Amino acid sequence: MDKIATQRSFVLGDKWLYYKIYTGPKTSDLILTEVFFPIISSLLRDKIIDKWFFIRYSDPEHHLRIRFHYNEPDKIAYIINLLSPPLTDLINQDMVWKIQTDTYERELRRYGENTMDLAELIFFHDSQMVLKFLSFLESDGHEELRWLFSLLAIDSFLTTFNFGKHEKYSLLQKIRTGFAEEFAMSRSLKKQLDKKYREAREKIESFMDLNSESKPKYAIIIQILEDKSLKIKATAAKILEHEERRTLQQDIEKLMGSFIHMFMNRLFKSKNRMHELVCYDFLCRYYKSSIARSEMSRQKSKLGILL
Of 28-32, 182-186, 291-295, 297-301, minimum mean pLDDT range: 297-301
Kindly report the length of the chain: 307
Query: How many other C-beta atoms are found inside a 10 Å radius of the C-beta of residue 14?
Result: 13
Q: What is the pLDDT of residue 216?
A: 80
Residue 287 has pLDDT above 90, yes or no: yes
Q: Name which CATH class applies to 10-105.
A: alpha beta
Indicate whether 103 pLDDT > 60.
yes
Distance of CA 109 to the CA centre of its chain: 19
Reported confidence tier of residue 210, pLDDT bands at 50, 70, 90: confident
Helix (H/G/I), strand (E/B), else coil: 203:
helix
- Identify the band that residue 217 occupies on the pLDDT scale cut at 50, 70 and 90: confident
CA contacts within 13 A on the Cβ side of 94? 0
Q: What is the pTM of this model?
A: 0.93
On average, the pLDDT of the chain sits at: 92
Residue 1: its pLDDT value, please? 42
- Confidence category of residue 157, pLDDT binned at 50, 70, 90: very high
Residue of 118, 127, 132 whose CA lies nearest to 236: 118
- The domains of the chain are located at 10-105, 117-306
Residue whose C-alpha is closest to residue 249's, from 97, 108, 120: 108
Mean pLDDT across the stretch 220-229?
96
Task: Mention every residue, 6+ apart, whose C-beta is less than 8 A from residue 270.
Answer: 25, 62
pLDDT tens track for 248-274: 999 999 999 999 999 999 999 988 999
